[in-house]
Each structure stands twice: as structure tokens, then as C-alpha cells.
Amino acid sequence: MINDKNSQKIVDIIQNFARKHSLFVLAYGTGCGAIEIPPTMTSRYDAERFGIRGAATPRQADVLLITGYLTTKTVKRVIRVYEQMQDPKYVIGFGSCTINGGMYWDSYNTIKVLDRYLPVDIYINGCMPRPEAVIEGFIKLQKKIMEGRAEGAKHYKENLEWYRANQKKVLGPTTPHIQEYNW
Amino acid sequence: MDFLIKTLGAIATIIVAFIVGMLYMGINRKITARVQNRVGPPVWQNYIDALKLVSKKTSVHHGVMQHLAPAFLMISSMGTLLFIPILRGQSWFPNLSYHGDLIFILYFMVLGSLGMALGAGQTGNPNAAIGITRGLSQMVGFEIPWVMALVAMMIQYHTTSISDLMAIQQQHGWLMFQNPLAFLAAILAMLGMFRYSPFDIVGAPAELASGPISEFGGKYLGLMMSSGSIFAFTKLTLYVDLFMGGASNIVVLLIETFTLYLIPMLYGLVSPRYRTEQAIRYFWGWPTVLGLAALVYSVVI
Ligand code: SF4
């Protein structure tokens, strides 16, 4: 009865509904885009009415919000933070810098395409995106979760070697080891 | 048969406490939002949060105590709840109250915090360690006026049983007016017990990354949240029993507990956070003086 496909479907719907309406966000303020997070969360745009609220530590978070360019030094920390988060977890890439490098395209110490290092579920484009766009992005993510398509974490686990190889290219010997998936 | 009814009643009590506590937290979030001129989440947001948290996978291991800490919290809050008469003179919510339960509750209420301190200590997170030291110091702060208020009432009426106190209030009127000093001291102690600002120094999210719970996510956090809401209801019911003569039916209980709940909530909304030593100095100031005065009053009268 419990392992029956239909009952699993009902459980999935309930779980996805809960996940969709309760997103704890860990905002990793790396780039200049981080300045748009406070207005998104506070009185003016009030993301809390969608169930989006800040989380204090990676352990409690569901969404990792990467707000802008990532230097190679930061990438290591971001990877560690991402791996400390508990499943199911999602990543939002915020600003053009996470999509293709943006205006740091030819910088010597930033990474360009975030998706090569961490599985990004939703991109929000713009340099920098306005709070309306951020909320729009969150709502897209909610839709994806409800449809069960926000599978970034699963993808990461399955293709860990590929991600690790990419991470190794920029991080060199300081790349986290595969065994240390759960910190 | 009696045993069965008692068990069912206990389960029903816990479920009611969970639902009501969660609802109060949700209303708190809504009111906070309205005060900050926001729309705010729906009042049932906390149920959704709890559902999500328990449906999260959790694979963090730091040691045995870390796994036990949420259980300690849960045991403490549910145990305290079961020792407190929920309604006056009704067989619906049976409880385990006996003579001397007030003293027992005094000790049992801190069990959760102590278990949590051990568990959070084992996670090895420095934020957790700072949070624990702050939490325990704050507890030392507010426990003194709280215990003084309770002892004042025990002296005044020569009983240590909550049901007896409730029965006495039936004849003499609410203790809130019989010994107003004790009531004031207990209310000021309640501000610390609820850990809303300005006394949210334990879990200060901006400063300590949520303190003791910083390494707990997923199901553990869900358990802590539920036990926190049960505990909130427990404390409010205890206050109603002690100072407002207990409630005769559930609607009255809800009105009275919510009115009491408004005190720490609204006080918190307009106050910024204290530093640790400020918080302790606060509790050892007027609340303790009031508690002492209540003691003197209860001896003299
Ligand atoms: S996308 Fe623009 S605003 Fe965002 S981090 Fe890059 S340069 Fe800064």
C-alpha cells in the first residue's frame, strides 16, 4: 500500500506543495547583486508572503542564492556551503555574472558559468536584477518544484565526477574530496 | 479503561497544543509583518514550514547527543504539558497533576534547554557554544523572579499543587489581583521565557547564525519547531492556570492564552535586542525586586 505508485504520487504532491510554499533562503552575497536582497526580503517587496524567508545556516536552508560573480576563492566556500545543505536543495543563479560571466567575462580570477560547478535550477538575469525580477525567479522555482522538475541536487549527485573535474580546474588541489559529500 | 481514556486524553492534549501553538506563532508572524507594514505570510505558514522540514532528508551526524537533543526538547515540553491542568474541572483533558506538581514543573521545564545544550555542544559549532552560554545565563536571569513569584503563591496559599491553586481562585478571585506583585514578576519573567526580542539573544540570527540550532536542519529543526510551539502553549496555559484561575472551556482558554501571548509579542516588536549582560541585569533589576516584594507580601498577609 505504502509503496504503491499512486500513494507515492499523493505523498509527492503534498511534499512538493510544502516545499514550494516554504523556501528557506541562504543568500550567499558574493557580488554587487547582494544589495538587492534586503529590499526583496523587507517591507517594500516582502518576499515572506510567498513563504520565502531567510535561513541562518546552510543546514536549515533549501535555496542557495548566489548573488553575482564568484571569485575562485569564493567558489570553494560556495561548494562547501552547498554540500552542507540537506536534500532537497536548490540553487538560484542571480545576475548575468552567474550565467556567462557578465561584465567580469575576461577577469582572471572569477568563474564564468556557474552551472559548470554547481547545478543551477533557476537563473535570474539582469545586471543587477530588480527585486521584482528576483521574486519572479522564486515563483518560477516554485512552479518547477511543484512539477517535480527542480532536480538539481540529484543531477549533482549523479554527475559528481564531472562537477569535481570542473571544480578541480579552477581550484586545483584544494578541491573538496568526493568522500566528503556530507560535511 | 481509565488508563485508556487517560492515554487518549493525553494524545488529544498534545495535538491541541501543537495546533494552537503553531497557530499562535503564525499569528505572531502575521502581526509582525503588519507592524512592519508588510503583507506577511498566511497564518498557516508555520504548518507548511513544519511539513516541509519533516519531509527533508537529514544526514548529518555529530554524535549521539546531537540526535537526542530534539527528543529532549520534545519530552520536556510534552511532559510539562501533561502535568498542567488544561481546563478547570473537566474530565476531557485528564492530566497527571498531583500534590507538589508546581515544584516538579519548575525543574522539568528546564530539562529541554539542558538537553539542547548538550546536543548543540556536540555539534562543535562555535555559534552553538556561544548561544548555549547566552541561553543558560539568560535562564539564570529570568528563573529568579519566576521562582520567587511561584514561591510567593505557594506561601500565600500553603499549597504546591496547581489544581489546588485553581480551586482557591474559584473562591477568592484571580490570583492576578490577589497577589499582583507576583503576577507582575512572573509576566516580566515570561518575556525572557519566550525569547522574543529584546531577549532573543540566544538565537540571534544576524549575530550568531541562530545559535544552538545552527547545525540542526530538516527533521530536527521541524521537531524543535513543534516542541517550541507546544511549549509556548504549555507556558501560556500554566500562566492562565496560576493567575487567571484556569479556563472552564476551550474558547475561554484560547482567549486568555492569546491575550497573555500578546504581551511578549508586542513588547518584542518595539524593542531591539539586548546584549547578554543587559538582559541579565534587566531580570535581576525590577522583576527580582517585584518578586521579593511579592514574597514579603505573601508572608505578611
Ligand atoms: S551581474 Fe552585474 S550586478 Fe550582478 S554581480 Fe555581476 S556585475 Fe554585479
Q: Where are the beta strands (DSSP E) in chain A?
A: 23-28, 52-54, 63-67, 70-71, 90-94, 110-111, 122-124
Assess B57–A contact: CB distance below 8 Å, yes or no. yes
The percent of residues in chain A predicted with pLDDT above 90, rounded, is 5
> Would you place residue A97 in the very low, low, confident or very high pLDDT band (cuts 50, 70, 90)?
confident
Predicted local confidence at residue B94, as pLDDT? 56
Listed in sequence order, the residues at least 6 apart from B20 whose beta carbon sits closer than 8 Å to its beta carbon are B233, B254, B257
Give the span between the Cα atoms of B21 and B226, in whole angstroms. Answer: 8
State which ligand 1 atom lies nearest to the alpha carbon of A32. 8
User: Do A36 and A129 meet the contact criterion of CB atoms below 8 Å apart?
Assistant: yes
Q: With contacts defined as CB-CB under 8 Å, which chain B residues touch A179?
A: none
Nearest by CB to A48, from B38, B55, B209: name it: B38
Instruction: Give yes or no for residue A133 CB within 6 A of ligand 1.
Output: no
By C-alpha distance, which of A29, A17, A2, A47 is closest to A138? Answer: A47
Distance CA B119, CA B168 (A): 41
- Mutation probe of ligand 1 site: the residue of A36, A69, A71 with most atoms within 8 A of C-beta: A69
Residues in chain B: 301
B6 to each of A67, A151, B90, B93, B109, how far by Cα in Å? 55, 46, 13, 8, 22
Instruction: Measure the CA–CA gap between B130 and A179, rounded to whole angstroms.
Output: 30
B52 touches chain A (CB under 8 A): yes
Q: Which residues contact B15 (CB under 8 A, 6 or more apart)?
A: none
In sequence order, what are the beta bridge partners of A27? A65
Q: What is the mean pLDDT of residues A105-112?
A: 86
The single residue listed with the C-alpha cell 573535474 is A165
Q: Residue B189, class by beta-carbon neighbours within 10 Å (0-12 exposed, 13-18 middle, 19+ buried)?
A: buried
Q: Which parts of A43-105 fold into alpha helices (H)?
A: 72-84, 96-99
Q: For chain B, how long is the longest CA-to-CA vector?
A: 59
Give the per-residue pLDDT at A182. 55
Contact of B51 with chain A, judged by CB distance below 8 Å, is answered with: yes
- Ligand 1 pocket check for A97: Cβ under 6 Å: yes
Q: Give the Cα separation of A100 and A105 in Å (integer).
A: 7
List of residues 6+ apart from B212 with CB closer than 8 A: B116, B117, B120, B128, B131, B132, B135, B202, B203
> Do residue B52 and residue A86 have CB atoms under 8 angstroms apart?
no
Q: Does residue A119's CB lie within 6 angstroms of at least one atom of ligand 1?
A: no
pLDDT of residue B180: 86
Kind and range of the H or E run holding A133: helix A131-146
Instruction: Please give the Cα distance from B66 to B81 (Å, whole number).
Output: 24
Residue A135 above 60 pLDDT? yes
Does ligand 1 lie within 6 Å of residue A103's CB atom? Answer: yes
Write the residue in A14, A48, A62 that is nearest to B40 by C-beta.
Answer: A48
Going from the N-terminus, what domains does chain A have, and what CATH number goes with each?
Answer: 19-171 (3.40.50.12280)
Cα-to-centroid distance, A96 and ligand 1 (Å) = 6
User: Does residue A93 line the site of ligand 1, with CB under 6 A?
Assistant: no
Q: What's the pLDDT tens digit per position in A53-77? A: 888 888 888 899 888 888 888 888 8
pLDDT in tens, chain B (301 residues): 677 877 887 888 889 889 999 999 999 999 989 998 888 888 999 999 999 998 888 877 787 888 888 888 899 888 888 888 887 766 555 566 666 688 888 888 888 888 888 888 888 888 888 888 888 888 888 889 999 998 988 888 888 888 888 888 888 878 778 888 888 899 898 888 888 888 888 877 778 888 788 888 788 888 888 998 999 999 998 888 888 877 788 888 889 899 999 999 999 888 888 888 888 899 998 999 999 998 898 888 7
Distance from CA of A74 to the nearest CA of B (A): 19
Cell of B232: 509556548
Protein residue with its CA nearest to atom 6 in ligand 1: A97
B221 touches chain A (CB under 8 A): yes
**Helix or strand or coil: residue A167?**
helix
- At residue A178, does pLDDT exceed 80? no
8 Å CB contact between B97 and B250: no
Q: How far is the CA of A76 from the centre of ligand 1 (A)?
A: 19
**What pLDDT, on the 0 to 100 scale, is given for residue A3?**
65
Contacts of B48 (CB under 8 A, 6+ apart): A17, A18, A21, A22, A51
Provide the pairing of β-strand A70-71 with A90-94.
Answer: unpaired
Task: State which residue of chain A sits closest to B128, comparing Cα positions.
Answer: A57
pLDDT at residue number B23 = 92
Q: Which atom of ligand 1 is nearest to the CA of A96?
A: 1
Rounded CA-CA distance B165/B256 in Å is: 17
Say what the pLDDT of residue A100 is.
86
Q: pLDDT band for position A180 (50/70/90)?
A: low
The arithmetic mean of pLDDT across residues A93-120, rounded, is: 86
* CB within 8 Å of A131: residues ≥ 6 apart: A36, A39, A40, A44, A45
